Amino acid sequence: MQETLGDRAVVLGGSMAGLLAARVLADAYADVVIVERDELPHAAAHRRGVPQSRHIHGLLAGGQRALEELFDGLTAELVDLGAPAGDMLEGVRAYFGGHRLQPGPSGLLALQASRPLLEGSLRARVRALPSVQFMDRCDVAGLTTTPDGSRVTGARVVRRLDGSAEQTLTADLVVDATGRGSRTPAWLEMIGYPRPPVERVQIGIGYTSRTYRLVSEPLDGDRGILIAATPGCPRGGALAAMENDRVLVTLYGILGDHPPTDPRGFADFATTLQFPDINEALRDAEPLDEPVPFRHPASVRHRYERLSRFPEGLLVMGDALCTFNPIYGQGMSVVALQALALRAHLQQQARPEPIRFLRQIGRVVDVPWSMATGGDLAFPKVVGQRTTQMRLLNGYLAKLLAGAAHDPQLGRAFLRVAGLVDPPQALLAPGVAARVLRAGLRRSQSPQPDPPGRQASCL
């Protein structure tokens, strides 16, 4: 255990980012207090503060490895609780760029736990840490600072009970993990600091999800189906086997073309996807609930790493820093990688240095943000700056995915990058580029048909 850096750290927010921050801080501070608006359940359950928990959550391979590093044995625990798991390229029908990736061993684990199960298991692990205390049903009223505003000294909280008085939690460090509704930009302005620059990509995505029990065996032993939207067919969906013998289906569309929430409209939307697998799987499935919607207007990144001034004693993590288009499944995995960056920072410093940490964590976000925004801007109607480099990379990626329909090594290379295991440059390595070139030559000399089952029309 590393040397204690302070008496108390306060984490604002008890969702994924808050739990992972608390796990790391428990090794560096005598006491860690998690402040959360919701009442936190002791078991796996949906809660108001995580409205997206009723939808499929992707845990990328890089995120799974990071969580396992922070919580030894977590993967095995989740599998014991019923979460399906297996190789990402075997047992999952993955359609990208209008092509099904050729199955084959990838060495990447696909862990298909529901958000409530995953978060509930993490929360139980964090509750078991002797130095961690939860304060749920509390609102954060603001920060406390030194008179000159140079240091944050704690947080002002109000318990959500009638007649409760405001309480000040003094702290050596405060971590904002409150998510998309973070008020840190406003709090900074109130104490004389600039707000961070903000980048937005208006994707206008909407998705609707429904839980089923499969009566027959339409998956032929597969654990899931992923049909990614393409510029030619900007609708997509996923079906994932979950714990308790359920399957969760999420359908989505961009730029306001959202799946309906009535059962008939939801089923009809599934028939418009580019490939029929999800629609066919639902024909004899038993619905277990009603369709539930979620909307994500824009991906937003607060560029804290570009600030030259920032108060001591305050850090920002998770969705409070950056929210991604959820169809790429990056959110939880990026948060896990941020937690590893926080651990490394605390091990290297005598005390946290916010500006240095925000720049370090900015580098963690750079790659997934570039990948997500590049993917969004592949859709012509999405507004944003398209550089020549981005156009060339998107064109190359289309050729790679076409080759991956017949070459599992290309699918493996793609998934390692998409899964935040390898850097994007790995797709340009000589061995990969040569495979892409050979695949293109084969297609030009003797065009091969796409995998069977393509639907006649997207819409």
- Above 60 in pLDDT, residue 197? yes
pLDDT in tens, 200-218: 999 999 999 999 999 888 8
Residue 164 pLDDT: 79
Task: Tell me whether strands 6-12 and 99-100 are parallel, antiparallel or unpaired.
Answer: unpaired
In a domain, 141, yes or no: yes
453 close to 273: Cβ distance less than 8 angstroms: no
Q: How confident is the model at residue 422 (pLDDT cuts 50, 70, 90)?
A: very high
CA 360 to chain centre: 19
For range 354-358, the mean pLDDT: 97
In a domain, 433, yes or no: no
In a domain, 381, yes or no: no
- Above 70 in pLDDT, residue 448? no
Mean pLDDT, the chain, whole residue set: 93
Task: Show the DSSP H helices in 71-205 as ranges.
Answer: 74-80, 115-127, 184-190
- Above 70 in pLDDT, residue 287? yes
Residue 114 pLDDT: 95
Residue 457 pLDDT: 54
Residue 367 pLDDT: 95
Residue 216 pLDDT: 86
For range 364-390, the mean pLDDT: 93
CA gap 258, 296 in Å, rounded: 11
In a domain, 425, yes or no: no
371 close to 424: Cβ distance less than 8 angstroms: yes
In a domain, 390, yes or no: no
3-state secondary structure 301-338: EECHHHCCCCCECEEECHHHCEECCHHHCCHHHHHHHH
Task: Determine phi and psi for 17, rounding to 5 degrees.
Answer: -60, -40
In a domain, 164, yes or no: yes
- Above 90 in pLDDT, residue 9? yes
Q: Which residue has the higher pLDDT, 43 or 427?
A: 427
Question: How many other C-beta atoms lie within 10 A of the C-beta of residue 74?
Answer: 19
Q: Which domain holds residue 38?
A: 6-59+117-197+303-372
Residue 456 pLDDT: 46
Reference 455, options 252, 233, 208; nearest CA is 233
For range 34-40, the mean pLDDT: 93
pLDDT in tens, 103-151: 999 999 999 999 999 999 999 999 999 999 999 999 999 999 999 999 9
User: How many independent structural domains does the chain possess?
Assistant: 1
Report the range of poorest mean pLDDT among 54-58, 151-155, 434-438.
54-58
pLDDT in tens, 295-330: 999 999 999 999 999 999 999 999 999 999 999 999
Residue 16 pLDDT: 96
CA gap 369, 235 in Å, rounded: 21
In a domain, 54, yes or no: yes
Q: Which residue has the higher pLDDT, 54 or 155?
A: 155
Q: How confident is the model at residue 48 (pLDDT cuts 50, 70, 90)?
A: confident
- Above 60 in pLDDT, residue 339? yes
Report the range of poorest mean pLDDT among 163-167, 168-172, 174-178, 409-413.
163-167
- Above 60 in pLDDT, residue 450? no
Residue 53 pLDDT: 84
CA 176 to chain centre: 18
Enter the pTM of the model. 0.94
**Is 234 in a helix, a strand, or coil?**
coil
In a domain, 403, yes or no: no
* CATH value at residue 366: 3.50.50.60
Residue 337 pLDDT: 98
- Percent of the chain exceeding pLDDT 70 equals 97
Residue 70 pLDDT: 98
Reference 227, options 264, 267, 277; nearest CA is 277
Residue 32 pLDDT: 98
Q: How confident is the model at residue 230 (pLDDT cuts 50, 70, 90)?
A: very high
For range 3-21, the mean pLDDT: 95
Adjacent-strand bridge partners of 341:
none
CA gap 290, 446 in Å, rounded: 47
For range 150-158, the mean pLDDT: 97
